[in-house]
Structure 1
Amino acid sequence: MTTPYRGGFTPVAEEITAFDLDVTGRVPAELDGRYLRSGPNPLSLDDPGAAHLFLGEGMVHGVRLRDGRAEWYRNRWVRSAHVAERLHEEPRPGPVHEGIDFAANTHVIGIAGRTFATVEAGARPYELDYELGTVGPCDFDGGLPGGFAAHTHLDPASGELHAMAYYFGWDHHQHIVIDPKGAVISTRDIPIAGAPMLHDFALTERYVVIYDLPVTFSLAHMEKGAPLPYAWNDAHGARLGLMSRATGEVRWVDVEPCWVFHTLNAFDDGDQVVVDVVRYPKRFVDARLDLGGPPALDRWRIDPASGKVTATRIDDRPQEFPRMNERLTGRPYRYGYTALAHDLVDVICPPADTELEDLPDEAFDNTLIKQDLERGVQEYRRFGRGAYVSEPVFVGAGGAGEERAEDDGYVMAFVNDPDRGAADLVILSAQDFTGEPVATVHLPARVPLGFHGSWIAG
């Protein structure tokens, strides 16, 4: 079986717990919490899930920081029924949606003092305990009518968490709002034809921005045995939906066909709406991840009154995993952070016949980028060959109520250290982005390339 789990994505084979980790530099004393990151990590490369990058069993990696110390590192598989059975454990109880019991592998977030691993396409999140053990699938105490979402966006003013769920058997997407206490307070169905994939969305103070793009469920590819039967569909068209947060009314505007996995941020600018995304020309061509062209960082400016959308290029370098200071989610902002590689598409999704030694050397000189959107310039923090770098997560300095500069804080990422054959948690000063790390926490094991993570305080 051909598998994408090679190179930086090669899975680890065991769960590890380590205490009192070695640190180069000094962990800032104000960092009190856990840095958690999720990703696919197949139990076996012979399993069907190992045939596609999105289908491997989920594993969460975490580092606990407190009082200037790195207290522990843990990595744990998320125990779906299949994973529990393979590990000779009892299945975890909990409600699943439409029989979808999938070990969430895409993101890990904190809500109301609880921790959840998330995934898309109709599955519910899995709740984890503080030390990353699996509690079980969760419907938020009965408030979740269907599945959940890979990506969520927190409104920093209200503390409400927004999500957009989809499922191939639905004729709609579902907008979900969870209050700061962890209760579902609103669900709203938005009619959508054609069963399109929806990996992410955007949030502003006035709108939820929905991406209805030409990657749709494909029965033909399912019948041919495609591991993930979603494919580029020229007949579907592309549009953005501006759903009023006040009334639920949706205004649709057409855009050039493209694909978007991830939003950097969005905000209202007078009567217009600005949405910054990583945009691909196409994706899932013939249900494959390695076709469709490289991504770039783009801006949509939407005029709801006229229905006109203007697209501009912020940065044409291939990049992904955009993050920003989430205290400004849905608000005007200046800085973003992304991960870049020589050819990110080939690093993440190499063609099936590509051997590791055939990839260009520069593919492993992975780099983090700080985007200054006000000045239109970038700073680069380069790590060496073989130093696979994960998504950059921004953590603000000081308390939640303190007034600070937007980039006053830290950028955290797991970085593979090829000399040690293990990973580091690298903590950079966001204001001295190209300088030496504030701290480098040396982990006892390699952390494979994966998807998304969070800093969860406390």
Structure 2
Amino acid sequence: MSTIEEELPMHLRGNWAPLQDERTITSLKVTGTIPTELDGRYLRNGANPITGFSDHPFLGDGMIHGIRLRDGQAEWYRNRYVQTPFIAQPDREVIDMEDSLTDMTSSKANTNIVGHAGQILALEEGHFPYVLDGDLDTVGPTDYSGKLTGSFTAHPKICPTTGEMVGFGYSLMEPYLTYLRVSAAGELVQVENITVGGPTMMHDFNMTENHVIFMDLPAIFDLELAIKGEMPIRWSDDYGARLGVMPRNGNDASVVWYDIDPCYVFHPMNAYEEDGNIVIDVARLSHIWRDGPMDFPEPALHRWTIDTASGRVTDDRIDDMPAEFPRVPDDRVGVKHRYGYMMANAAASAFEEPMSANGAILKYDLETGKRTSVEVGAGRLPGESSFVPKANATSEDDGYLMTYVFDANTDSSEFAIFDAGSMSNDPVATVELPRVPFGFHGNWVPSATAD
């Protein structure tokens, strides 16, 4: 590593280093056999600062890395910037009380990407969604025909039964929290302000068959930090932690709040209702950003069980292994799941020194308590995995796990498809790619959902 690289913060060096160009590659080498039933796009979002520099891992410009599968072929790989105002104006202030924090089109669009109601949406929780077309070109921001006036979460939940998409927005100013519900046809049909104790960073939330559950946790906005142009969020030992349960078509008056021990959760695995209780599996951290904006304790899988009769919440640690980016199959979102998948995250050092890492995809059987894994090899690290069911699947885990895998040995990447049932280390298929930087969230978007 050069002296210049060593002087850069971790999120800008090694495989975090931003790419400088957008590429389209149509001649792709495939090893193994891509299942012919896979017709769609695997898309992954991440922060890739167009200037080559950002003050924090969360503040880079959104770049989508996508691969198109059809008829057993990998037709193309593309990487494209989401064309937000920051691309045309690279010197635009990221944290600006008079502009970027109030202009809802001023998004980095760098966190997640989902398909819903015939659209592909690039998401970042502080602003409007950005719509992309099937070639990953930017159509533009959407405010759902003027009905959306504030931010939209990077982590909406799409109901596998109704097709509706539920989400929320949070704000530095009142109303601090707003619940949002989008119909299966893509119409914003409900906007409901929710009363909370103050402005908090609510990164994600939960959905069950009949309810949504807000996580009101002690990561609060700090106006003085925002005025300085710094990451405007800090940990508070004075702000309590609680879960708010509301019917999916409910309102502020119908929210029931349950106190929990202070902690932070970026990402839940799933939530469901059982015997009058609500069960939520989460990647739980003891806190965030107490000692500064890079204070990230190691997360691990926990289970919250809300006893709605007694008002008590139990917190059970399922595993001691540090892990993040929990997922379930899309058709299990909001209903009881047996299996969940996570990215092994032994320590931040794995991403600082990937040559010494041994990356893995974890699979949890929540009925037996058994954990299995796909080991991707020395010096290799996978990202978050998306589950795609096989045609005529016969069990919940009868499907594929797909993700990008970075290989520090060759400074290159591959798109990999693994068998979720067997969790074999041998991929079903791989597609050779140039280096794909580490990123945040990805999803399989079938052609039937958005093309």
Asked if these proteins are the same fold (TM beyond 0.5), I'd say yes
TM-score by length of 2: 0.91
Structure 1 match to 2:339: 335
The separation in 2 between residues aligned to 1:145 and 1:51, in whole angstroms, is 28
* Letter paired with 2:337: Y
Q: Is the 8 A contact 1:103 1:126 kept in 2?
A: no
Residue 22 of structure 1: how far off its partner (Å): 1.1
* Letter paired with 1:80: T
Aligned counterpart for 2:358 among listed residues 365, 368, 373: 365
Is there any run of 5+ residues in structure 1 with no aligned partner, and where? 88-95, 349-355
Structure 1 match to 2:169: 165
The separation in 2 between residues aligned to 1:40 and 1:360, in whole angstroms, is 19
Q: Is the 8 A contact 2:376 2:425 kept in 1?
A: no
The separation in 1 between residues aligned to 2:165 and 2:320, in whole angstroms, is 31
The separation in 2 between residues aligned to 1:69 and 1:420, in whole angstroms, is 24
Residue 142 of structure 1: how far off its partner (Å): 2.1
Structure 1 match to 2:443: 454
Structure 1 match to 2:4: none
Q: How does 1:69-218 map to 2 (within 5 A)?
A: 69-86=73-90, 98-100=102-104, 101-121=106-126, 123-218=127-222
Shift in CA distance, 98/224, structure 1 to aligned 2, threshold 3 Å: closer
* Letter paired with 1:276: D
Q: Is the 8 A contact 2:122 2:131 kept in 1?
A: yes
The separation in 2 between residues aligned to 1:241 and 1:317, in whole angstroms, is 28
Q: Is the 8 A contact 1:8 1:388 kept in 2?
A: no
Which secondary structure does the structure 2 equivalent of 1:34 belong to?
strand
The separation in 1 between residues aligned to 2:262 and 2:137, in whole angstroms, is 41
The separation in 1 between residues aligned to 2:34 and 2:388, in whole angstroms, is 13
Shift in CA distance, 58/217, structure 1 to aligned 2, threshold 3 Å: same
Q: Which moved more, 1:208-217 or 1:17-26?
A: 17-26
Residue 322 of structure 1: how far off its partner (Å): 0.7
Aligned counterpart for 2:374 among listed residues 381, 384, 399: 381
Structure 1 match to 2:95: none
Structure 2 match to 1:237: 240
Which secondary structure does the structure 1 equivalent of 2:331 belong to?
helix
The separation in 2 between residues aligned to 1:262 and 1:125, in whole angstroms, is 19
Shift in CA distance, 346/230, structure 1 to aligned 2, threshold 3 Å: farther
Aligned counterpart for 2:406 among listed residues 416, 420, 437: 416
Q: Is the 8 A contact 1:40 1:55 kept in 2?
A: yes
Structure 2 match to 1:351: none
Residue 419 of structure 1: how far off its partner (Å): 4.1
Which secondary structure does the structure 2 equivalent of 1:405 belong to?
coil
Deviations 1:384-429, CA, capped at 9 Å, x for gaps: 233221101101112xxx5631001100010013344221110001
Q: Is the 8 A contact 2:18 2:437 kept in 1?
A: yes
Which secondary structure does the structure 2 equivalent of 1:82 belong to?
helix
Identity %, equivalent residues: 41
Residue 361 of structure 1: how far off its partner (Å): 5.8
Q: Is the 8 A contact 2:355 2:409 kept in 1?
A: no
Shift in CA distance, 261/29, structure 1 to aligned 2, threshold 3 Å: same
Aligned counterpart for 1:22 among listed residues 7, 25, 29: 29
The separation in 2 between residues aligned to 1:2 and 1:219, in whole angstroms, is 28
Structure 1 match to 2:43: 36
1:263 partnered with 2:268: yes
Is there any run of 5+ residues in structure 2 with no aligned partner, and where? 1-6, 92-99
Which secondary structure does the structure 1 equivalent of 2:28 belong to?
coil
Which secondary structure does the structure 1 equivalent of 2:15 belong to?
helix
Which secondary structure does the structure 2 equivalent of 1:59 belong to?
strand
Deviations 1:405-457, CA, capped at 9 Å, x for gaps: 100110001001334422111000111212411100112x2111110011010
The separation in 2 between residues aligned to 1:40 and 1:85, in whole angstroms, is 16
The separation in 2 between residues aligned to 1:97 and 1:128, in whole angstroms, is 23
Residue 307 of structure 1: how far off its partner (Å): 1.1
The separation in 2 between residues aligned to 1:247 and 1:175, in whole angstroms, is 9
Which secondary structure does the structure 2 equivalent of 1:151 belong to?
coil
The separation in 1 between residues aligned to 2:13 and 2:176, in whole angstroms, is 36
The separation in 2 between residues aligned to 1:143 and 1:219, in whole angstroms, is 27
Residue 114 of structure 1: how far off its partner (Å): 1.0
Residue 44 of structure 1: how far off its partner (Å): 2.3
The separation in 1 between residues aligned to 2:396 and 2:44, in whole angstroms, is 23
Q: Is the 8 A contact 1:229 1:287 kept in 2?
A: no
RMSD: 1.9
Residue 224 of structure 1: how far off its partner (Å): 5.0
* Letter paired with 2:363: K
Aligned length: 429
Q: Is the 8 A contact 1:221 1:287 kept in 2?
A: no
The separation in 2 between residues aligned to 1:347 and 1:209, in whole angstroms, is 33
Q: How does 1:285-296 map to 2 (within 5 A)?
A: 285-291=290-296, 293-296=297-300
Structure 1 match to 2:416: 426
The separation in 2 between residues aligned to 1:361 and 1:73, in whole angstroms, is 25
Residue 246 of structure 1: how far off its partner (Å): 4.5
Deviations 1:275-297, CA, capped at 9 Å, x for gaps: 00000001111442334x31110
* Letter paired with 1:449: F
